Amino acid sequence: MEDREWMYTGWCRTQAPSNDWIHNNNQFLDRAFSMPNLVEGDTIKCPCATCRNCVRHKRFTIEMHLCRFGFKDDYRIWTAHGEIIGDSQVEGGHDERFYETDRMNEMLVELCGDHLPPADEEPTGYAQAFYRMVASADQLVHEDTKHSSLSAVAHLIALKSQYNMSIAHFEANLQLIHELLPADSKLPNG
- Taking 50 as the pLDDT cut, the residues of the chain under it are 1, 88-102
SS3 of the chain: the string is CCCCCHHHHCCECCECCCHHHHHHHHHHHHHHHCCCCCCECCEEECCECCCCCCCEECHHHHHHHHHHHCECCCCCCCHHHCCEECCEECECCECHHHHCCCCHHHHHHHHHCCCCCCCCCCCCHHHHHHHHHHHHHHCECCCCCCCEHHHHHHHHHHHHHHCCCCHHHHHHHHHHHHHHCCCCCCCCCC
pTM equals 0.47
- Whole-number pLDDT of residue 58: 93
- Whole-number pLDDT of residue 32: 92
- Whole-number pLDDT of residue 27: 92
User: Domain map of the chain by residue range?
Assistant: 6-138
pLDDT tens column, 17-41? 888 888 999 999 999 999 988 898 8
- Whole-number pLDDT of residue 28: 92
- Whole-number pLDDT of residue 33: 93
